[in-house]
């Protein structure tokens, strides 16, 4: 008689679905849960482990920065995505984070139209080519790929290119939405030509179902927390989209049609359609190895910027996002089984309230125009001191000022001295909390405070500027004339921008709410541990053992 040792098989997930909701602040799902159904956020709450005290701890809480931290477990100082846009000293221009002229867009007539593009950072790109080459470390998806010798299937999809490219990593496939063509597109980094199913998907022209239709409220106005405040002066009327319901998408051939879709729940619904197509056509979760699908939903971010997170639009958007999530979870259950899937949901950054809205509650908030600092008298004082005027500044894109190192060297000036003087002039502007120079950060001679540490975690010597500007809480950068161009803007080190949900569900996980502080950086090494792969190369996250343990019983 032989005794057989029966080892419990580690119930490795067949599929990992990583969801990012752009600009979903940590408290927002609970705030609106009363009107939510059962299958979306409520499923996550009833079946998932919800970390309710997760914060980013670097200073520049922008989209590509957060997505890359979610993908890599690293801080921007290490992964290199310090900002949506930075100044490239070799190219002598501002560059967009994932631009890469070696890898062109695979579709024709899908290039960004600079005359209509609402995304200021994308409009700055010098090319429509895209790749993950600027991400300096490995992603979880890279490590999964290395662990299985590329036998795991890896995909990323989002309305925003940077929402898909970051999480798909260096060996996955990324797709994003072209506001020019209304199609989901990719670049030659990923494919020589599209798989047949992608072409078939795009010939369906799913955007047309919204043609000549408006975005209307899902329920009667009386059901909403913000039902009696649809029209607010601080909301933006972008290109005639309007400040009140119904928001008309216009005709499918009109100039802003595809843009308006992304400023509404329609953008997420289209992303969901494409995500389902990936799962079906690429047979995710059906093979021997764990597959990975990253989905970044962008509508919450656009709606937040245009109307603010406390608006009727934002409220209806999150209720519809809840339906979109419910539909996704149902589809996953049908195709792979939720018990065989690990879902993780988080956000790339939080959301500040619109200054106009805060004012109605007696909370002071303001827009300031930091670009104005380089007008007199500040610059005059610098000119007097160093004998150099405007040419001292090579570029300025918040949060960084880039000095002209050549001019400084030519004049025989000391870079650190000039940096310090410029930083001091800007520090005097009302609404600035702190300015830090790259020399101080490089030498790490700064006091051990929350703000300095946040600045340090955002500092990459090659990409960060000479001077980092941090704004006071509820004070926002506006590069125009001090008047608002949008309802609200994120990007700072304060809790409303750093606070995001981190939720794991599926597999054998059981409902739990955890208030122990964690960072979104913890997600990537945790996923690595679940599949037994090594952590991404720059990860500083901690493994969330409560999650990992259920997969290694």
Separation between Cα atoms, residue 490 and residue 125, nearest integer Å: 21
Q: Report the nearest approach of Zn ion to the CB of residue 200 (Å).
A: 30
Per DSSP, the residues of 110-149 read -S--TTT---HHHHT-S-S-B-STT--S--HHHHHHHHTT
Q: Report the nearest approach of Zn ion to the CB of residue 22 (Å).
A: 4
User: What contacts 2, CB < 8 A, 6 or more positions away?
Assistant: none
Q: Report the nearest approach of Zn ion to the CB of residue 88 (Å).
A: 22
- CB of 425 or CB of 497, closer to Zn ion: 497
Quick one: tokens of 377? 């008298």
Q: What are the beta bridge partners of residue 130?
A: 99
- CB of 301 or CB of 313, closer to Zn ion: 301
Q: Report the nearest approach of Zn ion to the CB of residue 369 (Å).
A: 23
Q: Report the nearest approach of Zn ion to the CB of residue 371 (Å).
A: 22
Q: Report the nearest approach of Zn ion to the CB of residue 387 (Å).
A: 42
Q: Report the nearest approach of Zn ion to the CB of residue 120 (Å).
A: 13
- CB of 22 or CB of 100, closer to Zn ion: 22
Quick one: tokens of 259? 């843009």
Q: Are 181 and 96 in contact (CB under 8 A)?
A: no
- CB of 60 or CB of 63, closer to Zn ion: 63
- CB of 63 or CB of 107, closer to Zn ion: 63
Q: CA-based angle 224:229:232, to the nearest 5? A: 140
Q: Are 124 and 94 in contact (CB under 8 A)?
A: yes
Of 319, 247, 273, the closest CA to residue 159 belongs to 273
HSE, CB side, 13 Å, CA atoms: give it for residue 391. Answer: 9
Q: For 491-544, where are the alpha helices, taking DSSP H only?
A: 495-498, 523-530
- CB of 22 or CB of 236, closer to Zn ion: 22
Q: Report the nearest approach of Zn ion to the CB of residue 416 (Å).
A: 34
- CB of 25 or CB of 243, closer to Zn ion: 25
- CB of 348 or CB of 425, closer to Zn ion: 348
Q: Is 222 exposed, middle or buried (0-12, 13-18, 19+ CB in 10 A)?
A: exposed
Separation between Cα atoms, residue 84 and residue 47, nearest integer Å: 35
- CB of 56 or CB of 459, closer to Zn ion: 56
User: What contacts 434, CB < 8 A, 6 or more positions away?
Assistant: 427, 451, 452, 455, 469, 470
- Which residues sit at the interface with Zn ion, rule CB under 5 A? 22, 63, 301, 348
Q: Report the nearest approach of Zn ion to the CB of residue 497 (Å).
A: 10
Separation between Cα atoms, residue 466 and residue 370, nearest integer Å: 16
The residue nearest Zn ion at its CB is: 63
Count Cβ atoms below 10 Å from residue 246 Cβ, excluding itself: 11
């Amino acid at each position: 008689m032989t005794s057989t040792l029966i080892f419990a098989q580690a119930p490795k997930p067949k599929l990992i679905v990583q969801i990012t909701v752009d600009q979903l602040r940590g408290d927002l799902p609970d705030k609106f849960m009363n009107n939510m159904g059962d299958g979306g956020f409520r499923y996550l709450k009833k079946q998932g482990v919800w970390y309710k005290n997760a914060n980013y701890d670097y200073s520049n809480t922008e989209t590509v920065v957060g997505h890359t931290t979610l993908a890599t477990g690293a801080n921007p100082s290490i992964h290199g995505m310090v900002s949506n846009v930075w100044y490239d000293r070799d190219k002598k221009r501002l560059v967009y984070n994932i631009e890469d002229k070696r890898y062109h867009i695979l579709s024709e007539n899908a290039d960004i139209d600079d005359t209509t593009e609402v995304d200021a950072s994308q409009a700055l790109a010098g090319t429509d080519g895209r790749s993950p080459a600027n991400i300096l470390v490995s992603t979880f998806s890279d490590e999964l790929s290395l662990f299985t010798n590329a036998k795991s299937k890896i995909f990323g999809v989002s309305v925003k290119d940077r929402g898909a490219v970051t999480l798909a990593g260096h060996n996955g496939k990324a797709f994003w939405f072209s506001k020019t063509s209304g199609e989901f597109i990719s670049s030659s980094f990923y494919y020589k030509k599209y798989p047949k199913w992608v072409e078939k998907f795009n010939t369906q022209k799913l955007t047309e179902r919204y043609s000549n239709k408006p975005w209307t409220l899902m329920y009667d106005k009386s059901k909403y927390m913000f039902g009696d405040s649809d029209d607010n002066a601080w909301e933006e009327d972008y290109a005639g989209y309007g400040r009140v319901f119904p928001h008309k998408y216009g005709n499918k051939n009109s100039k802003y049609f595809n843009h308006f879709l992304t400023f509404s729940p329609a953008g997420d619904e289209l992303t969901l359609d494409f995500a389902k197509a990936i799962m079906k056509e690429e047979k995710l979760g059906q093979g021997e190895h764990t597959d990975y699908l990253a989905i970044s939903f962008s509508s919450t971010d656009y709606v937040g910027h245009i109307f603010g997170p406390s608006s009727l639009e934002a409220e209806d958007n999150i209720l519809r996002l809840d339906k979109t999530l419910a539909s996704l979870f149902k589809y996953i259950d049908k195709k792979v089984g939720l018990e065989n899937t690990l879902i993780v949901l988080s956000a790339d950054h939080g959301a500040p309230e619109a200054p106009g809205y805060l004012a109605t509650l007696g909370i002071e908030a303001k827009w300031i125009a930091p670009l104005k600092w380089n007008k007199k008298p500040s610059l005059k004082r610098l000119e007097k001191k160093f004998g150099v005027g405007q040419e001292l500044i090579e570029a300025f894109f918040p949060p960084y000022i880039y000095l002209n190192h050549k001019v400084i060297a030519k004049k025989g000036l000391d870079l650190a001295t000039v940096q310090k003087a410029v930083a001091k002039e800007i520090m005097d502007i009302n609404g600035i909390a702190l300015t830090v120079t790259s020399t101080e950060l490089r030498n790490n001679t700064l006091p051990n405070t929350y703000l300095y540490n946040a600045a340090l975690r955002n500092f990459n010597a090659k990409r960060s500027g000479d001077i980092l500007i941090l704004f006071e809480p509820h004070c926002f950068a506006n590069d125009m004339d001090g008047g608002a161009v949008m309802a609200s803007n994120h990007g700072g080190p304060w809790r409303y921008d750093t606070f995001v949900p981190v939720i794991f569900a599926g597999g054998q996980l059981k409902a739990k709410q955890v208030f122990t502080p964690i960072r979104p950086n913890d997600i990537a090494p945790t996923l690595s541990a679940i599949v037994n792969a090594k952590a991404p190369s720059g990860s500083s996250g901690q493994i969330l053992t409560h999650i990992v343990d259920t997969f290694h019983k």
